[in-house]
Chain A
């Protein structure tokens, strides 16, 4: 049993597994480009220090038998690259860090 406060009322109750295991929310970092699905890096088109425009190709992430093109969300400078061609990446891995213009 725990003390649980909602709308100014404190109640004694138990928590669900789902509630206890929830992740704390963190503001997404616009400077990080993360994998949205587990897969394999097939090609990296940029190197650190490169300047790219919005929608320029950064890399190809193969997943679900599809060559997914990961494009730059904004025009920016490529700050760091954390993956190489052939790397297997889990979901949510930071692949590239960018410095938006």
Chain B
């Protein structure tokens, strides 16, 4: 065969590049409990589906003796493949090659695959494992980051963008994940921060470990930068596969529809919510009682837990669920839970995913720290997101819906398509205690026994207003339903509103209270 020699040469070249940073660096990576970049891609994508591009790219840096250095693939692997049959574009930084540092060619490879993803309208997955900018390449590496951030932004709302942090991701590099839709972290492996512990120590004199500053737990529990937390890379890849199966490939299509499956038998919806409005319960049980196979995929599970968000299927159609969680902080709206819900609503709206809202909240969280942290502008994001969303919006009021919280949580006034309430719903301007104290202030203070009068007036208010029928009498809710009817009514409403179209006033873009 005349070509044999050439083919052998190609094979040899490939093998050389596939060694990455060499044996020693690879051993070090494995010793840290981390998978190698190619192994990660193979574990995440369908077997043998990965096609690599730009394998033989070399850097062009000449300063600081860089000309002598061969960096395989310039420290990043790019390509395409499939996840459970769905095409995706992917890049993975290779820490074994110059610490995965980002130079000009490294960034050009990432940009190439990003442009590919945007053009082909398929999800982009980025595996981050990098020491940061390649300092020897100076401003070129900054230019590289800038080009990536720009494309992250331009692609936002067109294709799903997923960031997987499997190593350090520090300094300016963190802004690419922050601009993407979903960030995955793994315990003991992911580290994200703008300035590291060293800088903090020299500037502020405060000492903190890398893990306490920007470890996986910090970002999934405290900062909210990460959406998914896993204890191993394999678990993390399973989460990504599940997510990919639930979301559409781009903003022009709908998520893949599966066959409808009933929820599990043991999810008895009528036994979940306690009659006493002061008793907590887990709202996720309500979601599981209405979604197909009781399969609910929660996002931001560990952060701002007073709000529950995630995907589930109804009648085989992916829906986004937004729910107050009475189990945590009584389900109040605060800075973090508002941010969490608002961004998720915008995601669903951008990608044609219907939104189902379960309401049970006493209102916004009172507090000096909340007010000073800007709960006004953060809380406003929910109103903005619901109002602007044109996907089907279905709302179920389970129990308490008071004041601003009632308006914010997908109310009719923000153009929910259907609003239903359980008979346990209490829809009013505020809780009976507070309302009675204000309305009947005079009667209470002038009564012989003010406390008795107060209790009497609270009771009076409760009977008159702490129910769904006042709102129903005004048409603000469409129907008061039995809990057991919830799934059937939601399926019906969903089917009716699937082809809904709404046109908003023409504008370049709105100015949301970011």
Contact = CB atoms under 8 A, between A and B. Distances in A.
B219 to A, nearest CB: 16
A14 to B, nearest CB: 16
- Chain B binding site: helix, strand, loop or mixed by DSSP? loop
Contacts of B331: 66
Contact of B206 (A4, A25, A65): A25
A57 B277 CA distance: 20
A1 to B, nearest CB: 17
Contacts of A64: 329-330, 332, 362-363, 365
A82 interface: no
A68 interface: yes
Interface in A1-19: 4-7
Interface in B318-335: 326, 329-332
Contact of B431 (A4, A37, A65, A69): A65
A69 B278 CA distance: 11
B280 A69 contact: yes
B202 A66 contact: no
A62 interface: yes
B208 A68 contact: no
A24 interface: yes
Contacts, number: 47
Interface residues of B, number: 22
B460 interface: no
Contact of A36 (B329, B362, B369): B329
Nearest to B200: A25
B16 interface: no
Contacts of B199: 6-7
Most A CB within 10 A of own CB, among B203, B278, B280, B331: B278
Given A64-B362, A65-B431, A67-B280, A24 B206 contact: yes
A65 B212 contact: no
Nearest to A5: B203
A27 B197 CA distance: 14
A6 B203 contact: yes
Contacts of A20: none
A36 to B, nearest CB: 7
B279 interface: yes
B278 A65 contact: yes
A7 B206 CA distance: 15
Contacts of A62: 278
Contacts of A36: 329
Contacts of B280: 66-69
B60 interface: no
Most B CB within 10 A of own CB, among A36, A62, A64: A64
B505 interface: no
B326 A66 contact: yes
B367 interface: yes
B235 interface: no
Interface string B295-339: 000000000000000000000000000000010011110000000
A63 interface: yes
A91 B362 contact: no
Nearest to B434: A65
A65 to B, nearest CB: 6
B362 A37 contact: no
Nearest to B432: A65
Nearest to B329: A37
Contacts of B365: 37, 64
Given A25-B208, A37-B329, A91-B367, A65 B203 contact: no
12 contacts: A4-B203, A24-B206, A25-B208, A64-B363, A64-B365, A65-B433, A66-B279, A66-B280, A66-B326, A67-B279, A68-B280, A69-B280
Given A25-B206, A37-B329, 15 more contacts: A5-B202, A5-B203, A24-B206, A64-B329, A64-B365, A65-B277, A65-B330, A65-B431, A65-B433, A66-B279, A66-B280, A66-B326, A67-B279, A68-B329, A69-B280
